[in-house]
Amino acid sequence: MYRYVVKRVLFLIPTILGVVFIILLTMNFTPGDPARALLGESAPQADVDAMNHELGYDLPFTEKYVNYVKNMVVHQDFGVSYFTKQSVFDEVWPRYIVTIKLAFLGVFLAAALGIPLGIYAAVRQYSLWDTIPSLMAFLLAAVPAFVLGMVFLFYFSLKLNWLPSYGMDTWKNYVMPALAISIPPAAMNLRFTKSSMLESIRQDYVRTARAKGASERVVIWKHALKNALLPVITNIGLSLGSLIAGAVVAEKLFSIPGIGSLIVDRISYKDEPVIIAGTILIAICFTIVMLIVDLIYAWIDPRIRAKYARTKG
Beta-carbon count within 10 A of 132 CB: 12
Quote the mean pLDDT of the chain. 82
Beta-carbon count within 10 A of 24 CB: 19
What's the pLDDT score for residue 4? 65
290 or 150: which leads in pLDDT: 150
What's the pLDDT score for residue 272? 85
Contact yes or no for 109/174 (Cβ under 8 A): no
pLDDT-above-70 percentage for the chain: 93
Q: Is residue 33 part of a domain?
A: no
> Backbone phi, then psi, for 87, in 5-degree steps?
-60, 130
pLDDT at 307 over 80: no
Element (H, E) at 121: helix 88-123
DSSP class of 250: H
Q: Which residues face 80 on adjacent strands?
A: 87
- pLDDT bin (cut points 50, 70, 90) of residue 310 is low
Compute the half-sphere exposure of residue 287: CA atoms within 13 Å on the CB side of its CA. Answer: 19
Q: Is residue 15 part of a domain?
A: no
218-235 confidence digits (pLDDT tens): 777 777 777 777 778 878
pLDDT at 303 over 50: yes
Q: Is residue 284 part of a domain?
A: yes
Q: Is residue 40 part of a domain?
A: no
- pLDDT bin (cut points 50, 70, 90) of residue 130 is confident
Q: Is residue 59 part of a domain?
A: no
pLDDT at 284 over 80: yes
Total domains in the chain come to 1
168-205 confidence digits (pLDDT tens): 778 888 888 888 888 888 888 888 888 888 888 877 77
What's the pLDDT score for residue 295? 77
104-117 confidence digits (pLDDT tens): 888 899 889 888 88
Q: Is residue 92 part of a domain?
A: no
Mean pLDDT of 260-270: 85
Structural domain boundaries, residue 203: 97-310
* C-alpha torsion sign, points 204, 210, 211, 214: positive
What's the pLDDT score for residue 300? 67
Q: Is residue 2 part of a domain?
A: no
49-79 confidence digits (pLDDT tens): 898 888 888 888 888 888 888 888 888 888 8
CATH number of the domain that residue 117 is part of: 1.10.3720.10
pLDDT at 305 over 80: no
pLDDT at 21 over 70: yes
Q: Is residue 62 part of a domain?
A: no
Contact yes or no for 173/164 (Cβ under 8 A): yes
Contact yes or no for 119/195 (Cβ under 8 A): no
What's the pLDDT score for residue 246? 66
Q: For residues 288 and 9, what is the distance between their CA atoms, to the nearest angstrom?
A: 8
DSSP class of 15: H
The pTM is what? 0.78
pLDDT at 311 over 60: no
pLDDT at 313 over 50: no
What's the pLDDT score for residue 210? 76
